[in-house]
Amino acid sequence: MRMMFLSCPVDAEHAVASILKEWDMLDWTVIHAGNDRMDVRVVLPETDSQKLVDALQMRLTTFEGWRLDIVPLEACVGPKTKDTDITPEDDKPRPEQSAETALREEIYEDVAAGAKINSTFLILTVLSAIVAALGMNANSVAVVIGAMVIAPLLGPLLAFAFASAIGDVELMGKSTRTALTGLGIGFGTALLVGFIAPINLESPELLDRTHVGLDSVVLALASGGAAALSVARGLPTTLVGVMVAVALLPPSVAVAVYLGAGEVTLSLRAAVLLATNIISVNIASMLVFALRGIRPRTWLERRSAKRSTQINLAVWGGLLIALIALIILVLS
């Protein structure tokens, strides 16, 4: 359950009320705040909430100085309230929306935060790479799991998939830079560990990351799909973040550790696994966002987003097919 707070000029009162009265059993209240301003409090419905927010944004585009804030609501007790002094306009009712999908604006805030490069992201990337490299070299499963818990790899990948779904080129570029920065810093850190520390080439935790098969593709697809579905439903992503880290962190560290130890062949095999997993996670995430109906508000933006999703799926799909062929014909 969520509550929406709308602050807008009092001139927009009729336009706002005409939208709100289209939804049956909607709990909302208009408060005149003075200075030609008004506040509207709305308990968002479990269905149609995205349609309602989009309709309000569309109607408010002709006004200036308005703001929409959406916050979680733990409980709502008491009689429903409505402002009954406003005459509604004749607008078409919106189709029903799934109650299990979070608002587009909420998803954007979640994934955009994960696409930022800050000190926390950089420190966690370095620490997770060090912990994973030492844990895999010592064949310690518990240490490797600990590294995957702190690895901040989920954010930029989901941000890229979401940006593709809504056609946000700026967010797409930002998430790409963040992902490449994270992979680069993690690679450099693990490479340094490979140069300094004696490498146990017989460690099963390292050798497992040089075995590439179709099960690796399935694991990465499932991880990316679960992560995107959790974000789309507004659920915590901690556990699925670990799933994504399982697919990305160990092979990326193995690439660097083997390369630092001079084992080029093993490093290349781990690199194929890493590339396969990155592509699979992105494909699964984009498909989930598309199937959940995550798309921009306006028709023109939707057209651009559809083209963006199609291009990205075609590129990533072609790369995945090429890697699967390499796995079957060369590495298996």
Q: What is the pTM of this model?
A: 0.69
Question: Is the CB of residue 103 less than 8 Å from the CB of residue 49?
Answer: yes
Q: Is residue 274 over pLDDT 60?
A: yes
pLDDT at position 236:
63
Domains of the chain listed by start with CATH number: 2-72 (3.30.70.120), 104-331 (no CATH)
For β-strands 37-43 and 27-34, DSSP reports them as antiparallel
pLDDT digits (tens, 9 = 90+) for 175-187: 999 999 998 999 9
pLDDT at position 127:
93
pLDDT at position 126:
93
Question: Is the CB of residue 19 less than 8 Å from the CB of residue 52?
Answer: yes
C-alpha 123/C-alpha 257 separation (Å) is 19
pLDDT at position 240:
65
19 Cβ contact list (under 8 Å, min separation 6): 52, 55, 56, 59, 91
- Bigger pLDDT: 235 or 201? 201
C-alpha 301/C-alpha 58 separation (Å) is 13
* Averaged confidence pLDDT in the chain: 81
pLDDT digits (tens, 9 = 90+) for 88-129: 443 444 334 444 567 777 788 778 887 888 899 999 999 999
Confidence of residue 238 (pLDDT cuts 50, 70, 90): low
Tell how many helices (H) and how many strands (E) occur in the chain: 12, 4
Mean local confidence (pLDDT), 77-93: 45
Question: Is the CB of residue 174 less than 8 Å from the CB of residue 303?
Answer: no
pLDDT digits (tens, 9 = 90+) for 288-322: 888 887 777 666 667 777 787 888 889 989 998 99
C-alpha 90/C-alpha 232 separation (Å) is 32
Confidence of residue 163 (pLDDT cuts 50, 70, 90): confident
What's the token pair of residue 71? 């916050």
> CA–CA distance from 202 to each of 137, 140, 198, 261 (Å)?
9, 13, 12, 13
Q: Is residue 237 over pLDDT 80?
A: no
User: In 10 A of CB 281, how many CB atoms?
Assistant: 30
pLDDT at position 311:
86
Q: In what order do the strands lie in the sheet with 67-72?
A: 27-34, 37-43, 2-9, 67-72
Mean local confidence (pLDDT), 130-153: 88
pLDDT at position 304:
73
pLDDT at position 91:
40
Query: What does the chain come to in residues?
Result: 332
C-alpha 35/C-alpha 293 separation (Å) is 40
pLDDT at position 87:
40
Torsion angles phi and psi, residue 36, rounded to 5:
60, 30
- Bigger pLDDT: 272 or 84? 272
